[in-house]
Structure 1
Amino acid sequence: MIKLDRPILDAEDLFATCISRIRDPDLKQRMVDVTDEIVEASEEFADAAAHNRLHQIVREAMVGDLVTRAEMEAVYTNRMAKKGAPGRDAYDTLFTSAPQGKCPLCGHRTVSTLDHHLPKAHYPALAVAPLNLVPACGDCNKAKLANLPATASEETLHPYFDDITGDRWLYAEVVEEDPAALRFFVNAPAHWGAVLTARVGLHFRTLGLAKLYASEAADELLNIRHQLQIIHAAGGAAMIRVEMEERRQSSSAVRINGWRTITFEAFAESAWFCNGGFG
């Protein structure tokens, strides 16, 4: 996961902007009347996310007994996400906040949408709350749709609040077959507590990261196989190991848990691979 800075957008200002063009006087007044509930929901979310208590936020079908779930979903879809909508500038600000346009949830695919960390269908007051909206790729967004945490251990990672980038937790091992493959897995550092360990494992499984990273590693190997054959012919396993270690160091300088970093490390540590297992 890639850590993102928390957006500086104000929840009350954004909600007011989104509903500013509503023409139906009844709907407009009901929206205005639940402004306090919208602000309180955003503040509750911020505190809960910071203390790993998002599972304690109560699911609601309405906001303040005045605005329905469908009406709040429409605020997001038609008055924030839609091109030309009053809240579109805020949408674009959040959308472009991911470095290099990479999804912070998987760290690989391209951002294509905003993910509601807590789904708007069950938490309508958070439909346009900036802290609940995370830039994401379509695959991660779909994979998280059914995620409704019931305990602290069932909360997937939140890029605005969780930072595990400084700890090594992703590993891989070479599968000795033709063609060579990798099995990615989570190995939590000793200082992590049980809850964080469970959350990272859940995040990894929910988003299917083992399969994604294994696929990317296979493609990477396909692209460098010819070069490895030349290197092996010139210097054998030792030179292959040096090449893989140099690539690992370069990738690690960017992300210590990036799939490329882990791929090259696993290749370098495999005697079978370095002795020609790459094909």
Structure 2
Amino acid sequence: MRDRTLRFCPSCGEEGTPNTLDHYLPKEQFPHFAITPLNLTPMCDICQGAKGTKTTDKSGRRMFLHPYYDEFLASQVVHLTIGRPFSAPNDFFLKPSPDLPNELFELVDRHINGLEMECRYSKFFRDEYIRLLRLSQEARDAGDDVRKDIQKFKRMHEMRAVNLWPHIFYDAVVKNQELLDYLANGDLPAML
């Protein structure tokens, strides 16, 4: 953490250097784990504030993912669905990956809700979507293949981390054939 080489929050996937070492198990409740390195996880300030000292929900189920122990995080666990109209989508849905087993699906859902990720993702989504429309128009104007360009963006972000916000975004775009058709051939908004 001192070298600050981590460039995104491992809890939410937002880009930026995490400023906090969070006690996954709160030091007030678990003082014997307070200085255990595997209990200290890098986290952005927003996630840390949302998580606080919570560990379980009202039913006693674990609420948050652990970046060291949850090995399934090597795969993409958050899935984005982009709603219509594609010229200016009002709806997007950030949900656990449908490929997850039910128990992990529910854990990821509690994690997304507990860290208020969907609300936080909305500004990123809107900004990135406008950028996508501009890039698509520029690619068309240059005679480039829009689909191939978008696939390159996805791969570029995937190399960094599969649960990083930009990868989640471009993965959703690449998997939505109707949206790709719109970006490649549809009437894009004029005021970009």
Displacement, 1:219? 1.9
Alignment of structure 1 residues 160-199 onto 2, 5 Å: 160-177=68-85, 179-180=88-89, 182-190=92-100, 192=101, 194-199=102-107
Q: State percent identity of aligned pairs.
A: 24
What is the match of residue 113 of structure 2?
A: 205
Alignment of structure 1 residues 22-171 onto 2, 5 Å: 95-96=1-2, 99-108=5-14, 109-149=16-56, 153-171=61-79
Matched residue type, 1:195 = E
Q: Deviations over 1:128-176 (max 9, x none)?
A: 3332221211111111114132667324111121122332332222222
The normalised TM-score by structure 1 is: 0.55
The normalised TM-score by structure 2 is: 0.76
Gaps of 5+ in 1: 1-94
Matched residue type, 2:88 = P
1:265 to 165, 171, 176: 171
Displacement, 1:246? 2.0
Displacement, 1:115? 0.9
Q: Deviations over 1:56-104 (max 9, x none)?
A: xxxxxxxxxxxxxxxxxxxxxxxxxxxxxxxxxxxxxxx3377424221
Q: Please identify the structure whose Cα radius of gyration is greater.
A: 1
Q: Deviations over 1:164-205 (max 9, x none)?
A: 233233222222245346432212425x3x332221111111
Structure 1 residues 228 and 209, CA, compared in 2 at 3 Å: closer, same or farther? same
Structure 1 residues 256 and 113, CA, compared in 2 at 3 Å: closer, same or farther? closer
Structure 1 residues 262 and 159, CA, compared in 2 at 3 Å: closer, same or farther? closer
CA contact (8 A) 2:133 2:183 kept: no
What is the match of residue 217 of structure 1?
A: 125
Structure 2: distance between partners of 1:96 and 1:277: 45
Q: Deviations over 1:211-260 (max 9, x none)?
A: 3333223222334543322323455xx93222212211222233233221
Higher share in helix? 1
Displacement, 1:210? 2.2
Gaps of 5+ in 2: none
